[in-house]
Amino acid sequence: MAKALDLSPLKVCLVSAEVTPFAKTGGLGDVTAALARHLHRLGVDVRLFFPFYSITDTGPFELLADDSLRHVPVRFGERELVFSVFDARLPRTDLDVHLIHAPDLYHRPGIYTNDVDEHLRFAFLSRAAIESCQRLDWSPDIFHCNDWHTGLLPLYLKSHYAWDDLFTDSRTVLTIHNVGYQGVFPASAVEGLELGDQASLLDEEDLEAGRLNFLKTGILHADLLTTVSPTHAKEIQTAEYGCGLDRQLRARSDDLVGVLNGVEYEEWDPVDDPLIPFAYSRRELAGKEKNKQALLDELSLPADSQAPVVGVVSRLAEQKGFGLFPEVLPELLAARDLHLVVLGTGEERYEEFFRELESRDPMKVSFTNTFDNALAHRIEAGSDLFLMPSLYEPCGLNQMYSLRYGTVPVVRKVGGLADSVIQYDAETGNGTGFLFEEFSAAALRRALEAALDLYPNPERWQQLMRNGMAKDFSWDRQIRKYVDLYRRRGADEAK
């Protein structure tokens, strides 16, 4: 029996650069929104702070100025910056989340920039969250930071804010969603960040080399580190996957835990997904075929095609393994009857590759070069296979969405992909997808061909689909692991 959770006054200050649906470039936004939503549902007092960008999607939301957090000055060396907080309701909750309004810093063309004050934009985020707690006289048990953007927060608590008794019992958790992005700036950036004398707590080697690394600083100073899958927690302690931080991560291996992200089945379930034309379920699969025909039609592919549809929904970044495609896809498309449906934006070289692939064979390939959440749902519903050959993948969400939509994932056995997809075994009929280990074109080709060879066998294919659809990656289970971690930290410190 699950043990009863002690939820007495657990207070969590969650800080992130992205929160879906307000501002998102990837999974980070989905996961911080989900964390806030599910912690709140468990009764945790969670307050979520994030920047109010000019590109923040405020469309359907009512934004209310927070009276207690107006024109708050924050000094950075010679500069005084000011923020105010606006509150908005997080969808599907009665939780108000806090947008930090500081137009000087956040009114830029995108969420992230290459501007000279990029370090300041996110150092400011950490400080605005801390300063808000001070003004609210609210003492969090946990500051939960996410990725490099919030990497300085633990050190700020130990330095600039060390005097404040409000935070004596506060502990810090840093979740690493992507170790590949570290926030590395010239060491001169340290000037004016107000890290006080404790600037000596920054990594010496880095400073000597003339760098300041936000993520590394977080890894050195957070009380507890997490990443978004158990396999990735091991991987990042190796030179192959640590992106230069494996030594620091190994040094903290006792404090590093992998918790697989959950899925918001309220948004991602074909049984009642308002964004797909035909509902279906594990018991009643017929709607899937209709979604496929509708998708083909929508994308101007031959609407009566019986050939398998392979879907890709992704940031078009090296991390996602697209480097393998030029050696595999053109040949496969020439040799086999199949459709490739791609949605995403990113690096020019990959956009160019998919454009070229589409123009070469527009009856087989469709490339939609935008980010479009509704189309992402229709692709999940209308595809037969989902391709995710990632070079590294801390967790990955689309493979878990695919499983629920009966869209068989073909993935590299890495990070969260290895923790969520089980290799199909033709003999037993067990398994949920196709995995390959080596990051090579040959290994990817073998996995794809194995999947395409099975596809014409409807009985086996449907069993495979159903195996995946029966899997449950809901947040309900995962969120409890975070609560245990927050608590565990408290117990450790009390010893």
Through-space distance between the first and last CA atoms of the chain, rounded to whole angstroms: 28
- Closer CB to ligand GLC, 18 or 131, in the complex: 18
With tokens 């590395």, the residue in question is 184
Q: How far is the CB of 330 from ligand GLC (least distance, A)?
A: 27
Near ligand GLC by CB under 6 A, which window of 133-141, 248-256, 392-400, 441-449? Answer: 392-400
Q: Could you write out the DSSP letters of every residue in 337-393?
A: --EEEEE--B-HHHHHHHHHHHHH-TTTEEEE-S--HHHHHHHHHH-SEEEE--S--
| Minimum CB distance to ligand GLC smaller for 130 or for 176 | 176
Answer for which of 178, 182, 217, 291 binds ligand GLC (CB under 6 A) is 178
> Closest approach of Cβ 36 to ligand GLC, in Å?
14
Q: Is 262 in the site for ligand GLC (CB under 6 A)?
A: no
395 binds ligand GLC (CB under 6 A): yes
Nearer to ligand GLC, 31 or 97 (CB): 31
Residue 15 Cβ, how far from ligand GLC at the closest point, in Å? 15
Please identify, among the stretches 24-32, 115-123, 333-341, 365-373, the one whose residues bind ligand GLC according to the rule CB under 6 A: 24-32
The answer to whether 250 touches 237, Cβ cutoff 8 Å, is yes
Cβ proximity to ligand GLC, 218 vs 308, nearer residue: 218
The only residue of 126, 261, 314, 368 in contact with ligand GLC, by rule CB under 6 A = 261
How far, in Å, CA of 220 to CA of 202, rounded?
8
Amino acid, res. 69: L
Residue of 101, 177, 221, 489 that binds ligand GLC (CB under 6 A): 177
Rounded CA gap, 196 and 180, in Å?
28
* Using rule CB under 6 A, residue 313 touches ligand GLC: no
Select 189 or 410, whichever has its Cβ closest to ligand GLC.
Answer: 410
Cβ burial of 445 (10 Å; 0-12, 13-18, 19+) is middle
Measured distance CA(339)–CA(361) in Å, rounded: 10
CB nearest ligand GLC: which residue?
27
Helix (H, G, I), strand (E, B) or coil at 46: strand
Tell me the window of 127-135, 356-364, 389-397, 453-461 that interacts with ligand GLC (CB under 6 A): 389-397
Closest CB to ligand GLC among 28 and 421? 28
393 binds ligand GLC (CB under 6 A): yes
CB–CB of 294/378 below 8 Å? yes
Residue 362 and residue 347 in contact, taking contact as beta carbons nearer than 8 Å: no
Question: Is residue 27 near ligand GLC by the rule CB under 6 A?
Answer: yes
Binding to ligand GLC in span 401-420, by CB under 6 A: 416
Q: Does 321 bind ligand GLC (CB under 6 A)?
A: no
- Min dist CB 402 to ligand GLC, Å, is 13
- Should residue 267 be labelled a site residue for ligand GLC when binding is judged by CB under 6 A? no
Nearest to 227 by CA among 488, 485, 495, 494: 485
Tell whether residue 396 is a contact of ligand GLC (CB under 6 A). yes
Choosing from 5, 11, 21, 26, the residue that interacts with ligand GLC (CB under 6 A) is 26
Closest CA relative to residue 304, chosen from 386, 363, 365: 363
Q: Is 31 in the site for ligand GLC (CB under 6 A)?
A: yes
Question: What separation in angstroms does the CA of 234 have from each of 144, 178, 444?
Answer: 21, 14, 23
Among 12, 15, 23, 28, binds ligand GLC (CB under 6 A): 28
Please state the closest distance from residue 8 (CB atom) to ligand GLC, in A. 28
DSSP state at residue 90: P
3-state secondary structure 175-217: EECCCCCCCEEEHHHHCCCCCHHHHHHCCHHHHHCCEEEHHHH
Torsion of CA 292, 298, 301, 306, to 10 degrees: 20
Closer by beta carbon to ligand GLC, 14 or else 397: 397
Interacting span for ligand GLC (CB under 6 A) from 214-222, 344-352, 377-385, 390-398:
390-398
Task: Judge whether 338 and 364 are in contact, CB under 8 Å.
Answer: yes
Q: What is the CA radius of gyration of the chain?
A: 23
The 428-467 site mask, x for binding ligand GLC (CB under 6 A), equals ----------------------------------------
Nearest to 280 by CA among 462, 367, 154, 406: 406
Under the rule (CB under 6 A), what is the footprint of ligand GLC? 26-28, 31, 177-178, 228, 261, 393-397, 416
